[in-house]
Amino acid sequence: MPIGLKNSQLMEILDKNQVLSLIGFCKNAGKTTVLNAFLQAAREEKKDLVLGLLSIGLDGESLDRAGTKAKPRILVTAGTLFISQTALWSQSEVTKELVDILGPGGALGSYLLIRARSAGYIQLSGPSSRRQTERVIQALQAHGAERVIIDGSINRRVMDWQKEQTLLLATAPFCFQREEDALAETLFLYDLLANLPLRIDLDSAAHAAFVKGQEIIREFSLEQIYQNDLPWNLFHEQLCDGFYFQGAITNAFLTELNQNTKFDQGFSLIIPNGSKIMLDSKQWTFWQERGLRVYAFNNFTVGGIFVNQQDQYGLISPERQFFKELCFQAKCAVFDIKEGLACNIPV
């Protein structure tokens, strides 16, 4: 049963988690609206909380890249730490203190760690690589950020720079051709990230490894993977029954892997976490029907699914069926910021 959205519900998520990562299912799914809701909740409920903000890309512009559609801007309070770049310095309408220079960031110049000395609108930036993002998070925390919020990019699934991060999923019916597809894909990604069966009995730092039961049989480097220099005969000789892999799990990868190992003969694929899987729900079903079993070293915590039920014209279905179905089927909190609704809130 949906209830009214309250600041305390968002603060519960913020209080419990050091790092929050926003993932959008498509452009205009509402990531920045969600970010602003957390900023407002902190502003009204916990004024002294120091937040650190960064983006995987650019966020906070007043118009989209085509210059035709207004976008929600990012409003911060004095004391907020955020990441921007040299060329964007003047785009943040706050009194700024340059805290640190974090290295080159391409055409827009170096990444800058800035402290807002007044309230106002900012433009966020940040790196897209795992290693750089982890360093930026550490820099924000070292300079006093008590909580870090990452405004992630569209459809970004490989974002496992910190195991302890909590994910926030921003979705909308218009991200897909049909509302039933939106529901299926949203629930699918939620399950991939939060609910894969776990294998915590293995320990390997290699890019890939052959596995037999709980034992690592042989480890392989990234170079060996590229050269396809792997002794697949070990599977045919039943000396291995599993494959650990740190890379992206694509349809093409699974096609080749199945040819070498045969999924229907007790084979297991072991991955760091569900963010590595680059399949849609139909592709996932296809491979599971052929015997693929996937295990993860760890799952993410999903702090909530955030729904934008408005279409590009600001219209909303009066039945709000998408929100209601997510409330019924998802095993986590579901929010609609614009409509002021929430459900599945822990008591």
Measured distance CA(202)–CA(212) in Å, rounded: 10
| Identity at 208, one-letter amino acid code | A
Count the Cβ atoms, other than its own, within 10 Å of residue 122.
Answer: 24
pTM over 0.85: yes
Task: Identify any residues that bridge with 85 across adjacent strands, giving them in sequence order.
Answer: 111
3-class SS of residue 305? strand
pLDDT confidence of residue 229: 74
pLDDT confidence of residue 164: 67
pLDDT confidence of residue 106: 82
Q: What angle do CA 259, 264, 268 make, to 5 degrees?
A: 85
pLDDT confidence of residue 19: 93
Measured distance CA(62)–CA(56) in Å, rounded: 17
Under 8 Å CB-to-CB from 265, ≥6 apart: which residues?
Answer: 291
- State the architecture of 3-196+299-343 in CATH terms: 3-Layer(aba) Sandwich (3.40)
The alpha-carbon radius of gyration of the chain (Å, integer) is 22
Measured distance CA(246)–CA(37) in Å, rounded: 35
Residue intervals in the chain for CATH 3.40.50.300: 3-196+299-343
Going by C-alpha positions, the residue among 309, 26, 285, 281 that lies closest to residue 175 is: 26
pLDDT confidence of residue 158: 47
DSSP E strand stretches across the chain: 3-4, 19-24, 51-55, 74-76, 81-85, 96-101, 111-116, 120-122, 147-154, 166-171, 208-212, 215-220, 242-245, 268-271, 293-296, 301-307, 334-336, 341-343
Measured distance CA(305)–CA(289) in Å, rounded: 28
pLDDT confidence of residue 148: 96
pLDDT in 10s for each residue of the chain, 347 residues? 778 999 999 999 999 999 999 998 887 788 899 999 999 999 999 989 999 999 987 877 776 655 567 778 999 999 999 999 999 999 999 999 999 999 887 889 999 999 999 999 999 998 878 888 889 999 999 999 999 999 886 555 545 555 567 999 999 988 888 888 999 999 999 999 999 999 878 777 889 999 998 889 999 988 888 877 788 888 888 888 899 999 899 999 999 899 888 888 888 999 999 989 999 999 999 999 999 999 998 899 999 999 998 765 656 665 578 899 999 999 999 999 989 999 998 77
